[in-house]
Chains A and B, each alone.
Chain A
Amino acid sequence: MTSRGPAAYLQDTVLTTRVGSVLRWARKNSLWPMPFGTACCAIELMATMASRFDLARFGSEVLRFSPRQSDLMIVAGRVSIKMMPVLIQIWEQMPEPKWSIAMGACASCGGVFDTYTLIQGVDRFIPVDVYVPGCPPRPEQLIDGILKVQKFIEEGKQEASARGAPRQRPLWATTRQV
């Protein structure tokens, strides 16, 4: 240091950046998922978390079962009409900023279950950032979805909930105790 002077030393050791991008960098690498696992896709979600695929490599290993501590909702499985108010309530309890992934055909569009009891895609009731297709999606696909969310965060792209994506709900979902 002494030979090259303080200015050169600072250039070598100090990184100049913006607060925003540091925040985004930290946020993107510490997504805490809320597992809303209601059916078979949740098994694949567990596989993604387990040692072979090891989502910890991407900083998302801390599955939080309290919505207040998580910022990424992974809807893995079918959601029935009776479950939908619960889904909405858990989503609204998550602090912002928050992102959501619809994992699998059922969560994205109802899948093959166009029946009397299942909702035809969670995006009708909560905003969805990334859809992961498949029945069930392989862990690699889910990891790709999470990496897409990370990319959105890095680029500073607004999350779906802030863009005012559909948040409609039937009247009884707001009035009923769940």
Chain B
Amino acid sequence: MPDATQTALIQKLSAKIGGHLLATATGPDMAILTAKPDSVYALLRTLRDDLDLKFGYLIDLTAVDYLNFPERYAGRFAVVYHLHSFTLSDRIRVQVFLPAESPALASAADLWGNAAWLEREVFDLYGIRFTGHPDLRRILMPDDYPGHPLRKDYPLRGRGERERFDQVTT
């Protein structure tokens, strides 16, 4: 999407939901909105339901761990939503920064059904809790798994099967 189109979209969005935003930017592929953690649910609901916007399709929900990243951000973790609007035929990225200590965010599972499993995955691998999620269990790792392996401070080696089942390995 060219920058001019992104800027126009950002202006349109800022008029409607500027109060929920910390920053906006143009990206190489789509416009980027940085949302306030407290009001992300209201923001997403507006994006989904506003008749001019209708971002009805959650393409992806994932997270990033910026630990030891050269650039400084507002928090260690970022939860990232990718939304698509069939009305505008346009996409946006919404990111929310969360602190390193007990990161938590409002669940979007009742806005988009697919968010339920995506949030479970983010919880499983990053340990970010989604309040109001109907069933926040691990989705990939075993239920009794300790830790969240996609965090950057999780060791690459040394917490695998050999270490966890030392009574059975030779």
In the complex, what residue of chain A is closest to B157 when comparing beta carbons? Answer: A114
CB within 8 Å for A125 and B168 given contacts A116-B154, A117-B149, A172-B144: yes
CB within 8 Å for A114 and B170 given contacts A81-B142, A82-B142: no
Contact at A120–B161, with CB atoms within 8 Å? yes
**1/0 per position for A152-178, CB-CB distance to B under 8 A?**
000000000000001011101000000
Q: Is the interface of B mostly helix, strand, loop or mixed?
A: loop
List the A side residues contacting B59 at CB < 8 Å.
none
List the A side residues contacting B152 at CB < 8 Å.
none
Name A124's contact: one of B140, B157, B170 (CB within 8 Å).
Answer: B170
Contact at B169–A116, with CB atoms within 8 Å? no
Name A81's contact: one of B156, B164, B169 (CB within 8 Å).
Answer: B164
List the B side residues contacting A116 at CB < 8 Å.
147, 149, 154, 159-160
Task: Say if the beta carbon of B162 comes within 8 Å of chain A.
Answer: yes
List the A side residues contacting B69 at CB < 8 Å.
none
Taken together as a complex, chains A and B put the C-alpha atoms of A133 and B36 apart, in Å, by 53
Task: Say if the beta carbon of A101 comes within 8 Å of chain B.
Answer: no
Contact at A114–B160, with CB atoms within 8 Å? yes
B148 to chain A, nearest CB (A): 10
Q: Is the interface of A mostly helix, strand, loop or mixed?
A: loop
**1/0 per position for B127-155, CB-CB distance to A under 8 A?**
00000000000001110100101000010
Taken together as a complex, chains A and B put the C-alpha atoms of A125 and B169 apart, in Å, by 9
Task: Say if the beta carbon of B102 comes within 8 Å of chain A.
Answer: no
Task: Say if the beta carbon of B167 comes within 8 Å of chain A.
Answer: yes
List the A side residues contacting B147 at CB < 8 Å.
116
Q: What's the interface size class on A, roughly?
A: 10 to 19
List the A side residues contacting B140 at CB < 8 Å.
82
Task: Say if the beta carbon of A49 comes within 8 Å of chain B.
Answer: no
**1/0 per position for B62-103, CB-CB distance to A under 8 A?**
000000000000000000000000000000000000000000
List the B side residues contacting A166 at CB < 8 Å.
170
Contact at B157–A170, with CB atoms within 8 Å? no
Task: Say if the beta carbon of A119 comes within 8 Å of chain B.
Answer: yes
List the B side residues contacting A82 at CB < 8 Å.
140-142
List the A side residues contacting B167 at CB < 8 Å.
168, 170
List the B side residues contacting A170 at CB < 8 Å.
165, 167-168
Contact at B141–A124, with CB atoms within 8 Å? no
Taken together as a complex, chains A and B put the C-alpha atoms of A81 and B156 apart, in Å, by 16
Contact at A120–B164, with CB atoms within 8 Å? no
A110-B161, A170-B168 are known contacts; what are 10 more A-B pairs with Cβ within 8 Å?
Answer: A82-B140, A82-B141, A116-B147, A118-B161, A119-B161, A120-B161, A124-B168, A124-B170, A166-B170, A168-B168
List the interface of chain B (C-beta within 8 A of A): 140-142, 144, 147, 149, 154, 156-157, 159-162, 164-165, 167-170
User: Can you report 16 A-B residue pairs in the complex whose CB atoms are below 8 A from each other?
Assistant: A81-B142, A81-B161, A82-B141, A82-B142, A110-B161, A115-B156, A116-B159, A120-B160, A120-B161, A120-B162, A124-B161, A124-B165, A125-B168, A168-B167, A170-B167, A172-B144
